[in-house]
C-alpha cells in the first residue's frame, strides 16, 4: 500500500493536534453524554469524530435484545437500553410481530419511539427505504445501530447511519 506510512503519520499528527484544543469542560460534557447513551467515552468520541454530531437515537433489533419469541429477551439488556437517554428505534425480526414486541417491552418499562419489521435480505434500494423508515425523523448520521447479526450491520451503509456497535460490546 503506497503512502500508508505517510497517512498513518498524518493522522497521528492531526489527532495529537486536535486533542489539546478541547477544553476540559467539553471533555467532561462528552464523558457525561457517553454515559447517558450507555457507551464508553472512547466509542462515543470515535463516533462523534467520524460524524461530527452527537448520537441522538439508538437503532436495535429484537435479535440484539435476544427476543426470539414473545416473552423472551435478556432482562439485563432490556434494562440497560431502557436507561439510555436517547431515542429508540426497534426493528422486529420474524417470527415476532411489532405489536407483540412493543407490548412486551413496554411491560418491562422500556419506551420505544419507532418500531417496524426488520429489513431482511432485499435489494439495496429497498433496504435503504426500510432503514430510512426505522429512523424516520432523525438525521441518519445521528443514529447508532446496535447490531447482533451480519445482516443487520448492512443497515449502517444502506441507511447512512452514524455507525454500528456489536450488541455484545454495547451490553458488556
Q: Are strands 163-166 and 114-117 parallel, antiparallel or unpaired?
A: unpaired
pLDDT in tens, 79-130: 999 999 999 999 999 999 999 999 999 999 999 999 999 998 899 999 999 9
The b/e string for 126-162 (b: 16+ C-beta within 10 A; e otherwise) is ebbebbeebbeebeebbbbbbbbeebbebbbebbebb
- pTM, to two decimals: 0.84
For residues 91, 43, 47, 155, the Cα torsion angle rounded to the nearest 10 degrees is -30
Cis? peptide before 95, omega within 30° of 0 = yes
pLDDT surpassing 80 at residue 147: yes
Pick the CATH number of 4-170 from 3.10.620, 3.40.1010, 1.25.40, 3.40.50: 3.40.50
DSSP letter assigned to residue 142: G
pLDDT of residue 55: 96
Query: Is the CB of residue 63 less than 8 Å from the CB of residue 149?
Result: yes
Q: Long-range pairs for 117-126 at CB < 8 Å and ≥24 separation? A: 117/91, 117/92, 118/61, 118/62, 118/63, 118/91, 118/92, 118/93, 118/94, 118/152, 119/91, 119/155, 119/158, 120/94, 120/151, 121/151, 124/158
pLDDT in tens, 32-82: 999 999 999 999 999 998 899 999 999 999 999 999 988 889 999 999 999
∠ CA 103-108-110, nearest 5°, is 80
What is the domain partition of the chain in residue ranges? 4-170
Amino acid at each position: 500500500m503506497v503512502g500508508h506510512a505517510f497517512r498513518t503519520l498524518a493522522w497521528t499528527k492531526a489527532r495529537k493536534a486536535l486533542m489539546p484544543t478541547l477544553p476540559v469542560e467539553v471533555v467532561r460534557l462528552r464523558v457525561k453524554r457517553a454515559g447517558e447513551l450507555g457507551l464508553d467515552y472512547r466509542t462515543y468520541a470515535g463516533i462523534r469524530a467520524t460524524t461530527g454530531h452527537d448520537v441522538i437515537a439508538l437503532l436495535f433489533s429484537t435479535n440484539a435484545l435476544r427476543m426470539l419469541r414473545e416473552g423472551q429477551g435478556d432482562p439485563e439488556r432490556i434494562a440497560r437500553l431502557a436507561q439510555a437517554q436517547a431515542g429508540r428505534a426497534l426493528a422486529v425480526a420474524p417470527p415476532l410481530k411489532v405489536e407483540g414486541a412493543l407490548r412486551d417491552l413496554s411491560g418491562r418499562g422500556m419506551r420505544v419511539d419507532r418500531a417496524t419489521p426488520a429489513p431482511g435480505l432485499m435489494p439495496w434500494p429497498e433496504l435503504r427505504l426500510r432503514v430510512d423508515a426505522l429512523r424516520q425523523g432523525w438525521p441518519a448520521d445521528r443514529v447508532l445501530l446496535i447490531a447482533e447479526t451480519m445482516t443487520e450491520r448492512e443497515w449502517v451503509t444502506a441507511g447512512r447511519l452514524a455507525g454500528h456497535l456489536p450488541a455484545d460490546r454495547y451490553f458488556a
